[in-house]
Amino acid sequence: MSQPAHASPHTTTDDTTIGEPALHGRAAIVTGAGSGLGRATALALRAAGADVLAVDVDGDAARRTAAQSPDTAGAGRADAFAADVTDPAQVDAYVARVQEVFGTPTLFFNNAGVEGAHTTLADTTLESWFSVVNVNLHGVFLGLRAVLPVMAAAGGGAIVNTGSLLSLKGAPARADYVATKHAVLGLTRVAAAEGAAAGVRVNCICPGPVDTPLMSRSEHLVNPDDPQFERRRFIAGTPLGRYGTPQEIAHLVRFLLSPGVDYLTGAAVSVDGGITAV
């Protein structure tokens, strides 16, 4: 179907019509959009005027995200798509879907991930290892591989990959998660270097503990008898003394995807309540 012309993907806010949201007319993809950071970011991008394809392996969760409308004048549209980010054909399918419904994507939150097994390296099973690597690493790689050429052909765009505080440091009993999140940061830097000439910016957010379903599952995996103890332990180690909220992370992602930060690419942006500062 024919699509309306989109704003230039890498111009400053000076070209935004007065009264229009900053991302008006942009097409966006958010993976892992069924809950947590993905859902909050899908809503934040829509509130800024972007048209968002909410992608999740759980199609019902993706549809719930798409059905949740931000209470903002000029909010963008939404569509939902069920896809397994570890399957190259399904990744290509979500890129084709956003092009069909909203036009060429110039915004991409490459976010889908899983928490890992919380076992020592020696006790990590091959099944568990490959399960985490497939989602956290291969899923991010496949998303970049599919989206980067499309954005480059369109004249540019912006991508944010979801790394972690554990993209920057190690932790016991987290071999699978730490390895994949370090790799996500490496992929971010490669993609930023390769995309720069085509006007594609690629950055990586490195969240600390955030109050999401993934964090709750981690608390239960570490201490099934007393998950609240784990929550208190994480909070005690965070200078700001609390978990982050999905909305706080979503505001950062929206900023990183927005016009006006065109000189920022290849960065690891910590958002961890001060953990890496001490």
177 in catalytic set:
yes
From the CB of residue 69, how many other CB atoms can be counted at a distance below 10 Å? 13
- Map residue 1 onto helix, strand or coil: coil
CA distances 99 to 2, 79, 151, Å, are 10, 12, 11
Task: Identify the burial level of 2 via C-beta atoms within 10 angstroms of its C-beta, where 0-12 means exposed, 13-18 middle and 19 or more buried.
Answer: exposed
- The single residue listed with the structure tokens 């947590």 is 36
Look at the alpha carbons of 245, 248, 249, 254 in this order and tell me if their dihedral is positive or negative.
Answer: positive
Q: Return d(Cα 249, Cα 247) in angstroms, integer.
A: 5
Task: Please list, in sequence order, all residues whose beta carbon lies within 8 angstroms of the beta carbon of residue 82, skipping any fewer than 6 positions away.
Answer: 55, 56, 57, 58, 59, 62
Active-site residue numbers?
Answer: 177
